[in-house]
Amino acid sequence: MKKWYRILTVVSVVFVLMASGACTHTTQNKASESKTQSHVKETLPKSKFYPYSDPENEGGWVLNETLSDEFSGTEIDTSKWFVQGLNDNYYIWKGRAPSQFVPHNVIVEDDKLKLRTQWEPDYSFVDEFYGDGNMGASKYGVYKDGTKMPVTTAGILTHKRFLYGYMEVKSKVGNAAITGAFWAIGHEQELDVYELMGNPKNKGNIREDSYLATAHDWSPPAQRPTKIFNHVENLSFRTADDFHVYGAEWGVDYLKLYIDGKMIRHFTQDQLGTAFVLNNPMEIWLDSEIFYWLGLPHKEELPVDFEIEYMRLWQKPSNNLLAADGAFYGFEGPYLFEENGRPLDLLPESSVPNNYQQFWNVEKGSEKYLSIAYGEYHKGVNSLRFSGYSKTEKLEVPKAVISAPKGSLKLEEGNYKLSAKIWLDQGGVTDKVHVILKDPETQVVLKDLRNMPRRKWITVTAEFSRATASGAKDAMAIQIRKEDLPKTRAAKFFMDDIVIEKVK
């Protein structure tokens, strides 16, 4: 779709779709898991809204009110939404030229959001060009052949990102050659839940009675083709004629797409492998664009509105206190300091640290031994790798260390259990992994690794206590110490999916 690109906590429960930790050295028992889910469902807060595909809330969904919006009132809620062009601020891009996003086309009335597309010959378009794929460069307000095309559109996106959940809109697109899109982007990824067009002029990948969903991989090099999977659904209705409900359920290793409560497609990581790139938190977008290959909108058919009655997001409760940042603690992507605000030029392929996103840091001298490993994982596509060393080598530093950014850990005082997934190769392995919590300093040791099963993912746990809550600089560091390793021939191992739970 585009070329570029913690979540609500209520009484210490973070609403994300992630499994909680298991018992030491074992996987979680399914019967116990079912019992836990049943108990959790009984204690969920009541809501007047549930997913259209799950009206009895069998899935145990909880509405994320921070991101959800009923679009009541008379103006857009700018505490939830970033409006493209408002105060002359644009995030990443200004729309797909020749059309341009403008804030006056974002309208809230009649209990609906209306993203308007207009023919505005008197509007002062930015003096810039936009290039997209094989289209070539086009100036805003002017088509690439020089034809005047003074079309203004609109786009909004959530300030906050979320990790896993069920997102849903009830919407109707405008009856013109202009899209209505419901999509999301995050670090190195994009999910287009749908791209619809009410009245395309040319035959192509979207018809007036079809639905297109796509996922894109924006990992470097961020060059087209970026599509990793898509789905086209032939519909029994025109998308501009009436309102319909469109939803997507995004889990740790799957994606389900819904129209009017019916599942139309189910993608899994088993099918896609490392091409399943939806592993980091995403922000939600609603916008309209010109798709030049489907024809240009005619002056006579404008203005039109892309209308949305609501955008709702549900998530599932977890006992994992790191769940909202589970992608970071699963070594998939950055830790997000959302309180600092998202840079307007932050591209999804960027791994440059800034005040908004920061990454695990391998300390000097440890680079030879510790790295983020792509393609070796318990969940997602990455894990932390300790590379080991040969019979002629030894650990050349007292300890190999990788650290999280300061301020990335926030725990109250109390008793806790830390768990992680570990994969141990055959041979001499470290006997311990030291997890240091920095403010106040707390040492947590995952130990007795040499007696654990090899060449399979296992769960290792350790309990710890804190007399005071996290300080401003609290963070996690992972240490592999020389005294815990064999002198030579140290085997490699992998670590993934760190979890912290409260112990009663």
Percent of the chain topping pLDDT 90: 87
Q: Residue 44's pLDDT band (boundaries 50, 70, 90)?
A: low
pLDDT at 30: 41
Residue 345 has pLDDT above 70, yes or no: yes
pLDDT at 80: 98
- Is CATH 1.10.3080.10 the classification given to domain 360-502? no
Tens digit of each residue's pLDDT (9 = 90 or more) over 417-457: 999 999 999 999 999 999 999 999 999 999 999 999 999 99
Mean pLDDT of the chain: 91
pLDDT at 295: 95
Residue 38 has pLDDT above 90, yes or no: no
Rounded Cα gap, residues 369 and 376, in angstroms = 16
CB proximity list for 457: less than 8 A, separation 6 or greater: 378, 421, 422, 423, 496
For the chain, the structural domain boundaries read 9-315, 360-502
pLDDT at 43: 55
- Give 373's strand partners: 383
pLDDT at 380: 98
Tens digit of each residue's pLDDT (9 = 90 or more) over 458-495: 999 999 999 999 999 999 999 999 999 999 999 999 99
418: tokens are 């830390």
3-class SS of residue 489: coil
3-class SS of residue 421: strand
DSSP class of residue 415? E
Residue 7 has pLDDT above 70, yes or no: no
Tens digit of each residue's pLDDT (9 = 90 or more) over 93-139: 999 999 999 999 999 999 999 999 999 999 999 999 998 765 678 89
Q: Do domains 9-315 and 360-502 have the same CATH topology?
A: yes
Long-range contacts of the stretch 251-256 (C-beta < 8 A, 24+): 251/17, 251/164, 252/17, 252/18, 252/19, 252/164, 252/379, 252/380, 253/379, 255/191, 255/215
Tens digit of each residue's pLDDT (9 = 90 or more) over 149-198: 999 999 999 999 999 999 999 999 999 999 999 999 999 999 999 999 99
Residue 213 has pLDDT above 80, yes or no: yes
Residue 23 has pLDDT above 90, yes or no: no
Tens digit of each residue's pLDDT (9 = 90 or more) over 391-415: 999 999 999 999 999 999 999 999 9
Tens digit of each residue's pLDDT (9 = 90 or more) over 25-36: 333 344 444 444
How many other C-beta atoms lie within 10 A of the C-beta of residue 125? Answer: 20
pLDDT at 45: 64
pLDDT at 4: 40
Q: Please state the three-class secondary structure of 131-165 as a single string.
A: ECHHHCEEECCECCCCCECCEEECEEEECCCECCE
Q: What is the mean pLDDT of residues 377-386?
A: 98
Contact 257, 169 (CB under 8 A): no
448: tokens are 């007795």
Contact 456, 26 (CB under 8 A): no
Q: Which residues of 73-88 are buried (b: 16+ CB within 10 A; e: fewer)?
A: eeebeeebbbbbbbee
What is the CATH number assigned to the segment(s) 9-315?
2.60.120.200
3-class SS of residue 38: helix
pLDDT at 135: 63
pLDDT at 186: 98
Where do the DSSP E strands lie in 365-431?
Answer: 370-374, 382-386, 399-403, 414-424
pLDDT at 47: 73
pLDDT at 13: 38
pLDDT at 145: 87
Select from 430, 441, 440, 439 the least CA-distant residue to 479.
430
